[in-house]
Structure 1
């Protein structure tokens, strides 16, 4: 099998990396970026400090702070206006997954035009697009290193997966100091999100030796450091490790794929406005239990990397221990069920058939060790509700 691999052209990783953002633009020959972020980072002054860094480097940036959680097609309109008014030659995604996904979408639409639904899977988007420079502030989505963006269609509430090299950032600046202010809930949800990326990349039908090494290393790191980062947000060793693991997991799944957890997670986020990392966490143990028998040795490798099993355990035993370890992890980090999160039971079950159809249409479930039917997906939604 020949694996087709794609990575950002420039990766700067480590404490203080964000201070070198101006140098990255110099290397790329760019000077008029649109800085795409959200109201929170603008309100704390973090975005303006980054704007000052860019201006000090001789660049001419413009700030757009209109990103919304789980960006929608409607939310892109104001960003496109800002992009065109500024005459931007590049886009910076600054924040969690939502600002980075928004930046990627703007980079493509700013050149090609059209509507985001024109670019959703199964289409593979090759470009052209404005260069995107990703600066993550959470340790979870891995979007700084992936060739995907996820945008919700405002007309249908479909959370659209849009893939292809056109969405791959040309550069990623990964500085763990930007994550030190993350609260425990966000630390937990994004950490489990990164773990989901790593595990799905490893058990995916599209896994390859390149993605395997990164995926298992991310699982190993998250197993060691997630609880520490959650317990003490100022633990710089844990924060640095989790930031690197999230990027490694992002590279892994960008070069293999995600699977059933993500396929089922996107409709939950679209219809019930559950944050992506949290919806993954809600689904992760049950979907793994459903899938584990079809890839025992792969899940066993994940169990050993996580620290949930030893080399003395058989693959079957290790795989089962992995399922239990995920359940325990979600309990330890107080991941709520959809019911506990406040989602109405009647709406959950009313929308389950549609969510199952949308999950299958995204293509991700086809990468799962067990390719589910729509009925099996509905059953999994029913299992996790309460």
Structure 2
């Protein structure tokens, strides 16, 4: 086997490590920082904490906190305009996956005057963006491991991928203390997203020995950590386990790609506003059953990592049962009609799911009618 794997970036992990943020800024050759964060994060006290850390070290900074869930291209354009006004700086992406994804687009556009976020498909060969430090405050997306973001183009009503190698975070700052205040629902949905990253990475057509190693360990850590953090949200050790498991799953998906679960998830969010992790949970078991014959080895690895047992050697069923138990425990599994998805939207959701770039990595290539049938089965 001939294998080339490029792993870049630096990871700083541990309780309280966010206090070292000023030294990370200077390590990148800058003395100024532009913080991109979620609209609601200031209420948690985290934004003020970061600002005080930067100010106490004399790091000039500005904070842009106008990023919402599933950020549209217009929000990315607005953030880039503000960054251009502020000038050259390290971009600090602070928050959940939406903030991290938007920050990548903002950083890239700031280095490419005249470009807008809807040009995403043309920007992969663009000039470099500004250097980026990722500080996730949720444990799920793994967005700190790669150089692309998923944003929404409202004009065409679909998800687009904006990215460039230059906006892959130079430093990922993983401080589990930042996740202690997460509400149970957010903890569950983001953690389940990470679990799906691991499972889909194992089954992906693009899987390789390195991505498989990352993904298998991620599923093990998340399978153990998610129930523990669900029982006690103040369990810092469990928070740390889930955060690092999500980070490993992010590395896995960056190398392997994902699959149909994410293709459907993106379409459900774009068409019906379903939160990402909840959208994935709605269809994970059904997609696994659809792909069972083609992904047998991957699902055996999944089942073993989740301490499942296979009656008669049926590891695919064991894996599906194991993820079902976790979904039930976290209360993230819902039917589509309960999530407000109109039945009339299902054909368009199926079409977009099949067309989504992530779906090409799925172990069994689906047709639109097959995906439509799957969606109707969970309606």
Taking structure 2 as the reference length, the TM-score comes to 0.94
* 1:1-386 equivalent positions in 2, closer than 5 A: 2-112=2-112, 113-120=114-121, 124-125=124-125, 127-309=127-309, 316-335=313-332, 336-341=334-339, 343-344=340-341, 347=342, 349-385=343-379
Q: Secondary structure at the match of 1:129?
A: coil
- Work out the CA distance in 2 between the residues paired with 1:22 and 1:375: 53
CA shift in 2, pair 1:47/1:284, >3 Å: same
1:6 Cα offset (Å): 4.0
Count matched residues. Answer: 377
Displacement, 1:331?
Answer: 1.9
Q: Tell me the alpha carbon deviations over residues 10-35 of structure 1, each in whole angstroms, 9 at most, x when there is no partner.
A: 21011111111111111111222210
Displacement of 1:46: 1.5
Tell me the alpha carbon deviations over residues 104-150 of structure 1, each in whole angstroms, 9 at most, x when there is no partner: 010111112423332249x8456511111100000100101123200
CA contact (8 A) 1:8 1:172 kept: no
Q: Residues 108 and 164 of structure 2 are in contact (CA less than 8 Å); yes or no, is this contact kept in structure 1? A: no
Looking at structure 1, the residues matched to 302 and 95 of structure 2 have their Cα atoms a distance apart, in angstroms, of 29
Question: What displacement does 1:362 show?
Answer: 2.2
Change (3 A) 1:71 1:8: farther
- Deviation by residue 1:263-300 (Cα, 9 ceiling, x = unmatched): 11101111211221111111211111111111211110
Moved more, 376-385 or 235-244: 376-385
Structure 1 stretches lacking a partner, 5+ long:
none
Q: Judge conservation of contact 1:7–1:168 (CA < 8 Å) in 2.
A: no
Q: How far did 1:242 drift?
A: 0.3
Once superposed, what is the RMSD of the aligned Cα atoms? Answer: 1.8
Partners of 2:109 and 2:13 lie apart in 1 by: 29
SS at match of 1:294: coil
1:103/1:16 Cα in 2 relative to 1: closer, same or farther (>3 Å)?
A: same
Give the 3-state SS of the residue equivalent to 1:74 in structure 2.
helix
- 3-state SS, counterpart of residue 308 of structure 1: coil
- Separation (CA, whole Å) in 2 of partners of 1:126 and 1:248: 28
What is the TM-score of this pair, normalised by structure 1?
A: 0.93
CA–CA distance in 1 between the matches of 2:96 and 2:169?
A: 14
Query: Any runs of at least 4 consecutive aligned residues in structure 1 with deviations exceeding 3 A, and if so which?
Result: 1-8, 123-127
Instruction: Return closer, same or farther for 1:2/1:169 CA change in 2, 3 Å cut-off.
Output: farther
SS state of the match for residue 332, structure 1?
helix
Preserved contact between residue 138 and residue 179 of structure 1 (Cα < 8 Å): yes
User: In the alignment, is the contact (CA less than 8 A) between 1:125 and 1:163 conserved in 2?
Assistant: no
CA contact (8 A) 1:263 1:360 kept: yes
- For the 8 Å contact 1:127–1:165, the answer to whether it is kept is no
Q: 1:6 to 1:355 in 2, by over 3 A?
A: farther
Between the aligned partners of 2:159 and 2:2, the Cα distance in structure 1 is 30
Write the deviation string for residues 352-371 of structure 1: whole angstroms up to 9, x where unpaired. Answer: 22222222222211111101
Q: Contact 1:184 / 1:231 at 8 angstroms: preserved in 2? A: no
2:28–2:131 contact (8 Å) kept in structure 1: no
Q: Shift of the alpha carbon at 1:41?
A: 1.4
1:174 positional shift: 0.4
Contact 2:44/2:181 (CA < 8 Å) preserved in 1?
no
Would the aligned equivalents of 1:161 and 1:362 in 2 still touch at CA under 8 Å? Answer: no
Residues 152 and 53 from structure 1, CA distance in 2 versus in 1: closer, same or farther, beyond 3 angstroms? same
Which 5+ residue runs of structure 2 have no aligned equivalent?
none
**Cα deviation, residue 2, structure 1:** 4.4
Aligned partners of 2:24 and 2:351: how far apart in 1?
Answer: 42
1:166 and 1:258, CA in 2 relative to 1: closer, same or farther beyond 3 A?
farther
Residue 4 of structure 1: how far off its partner (Å): 4.6
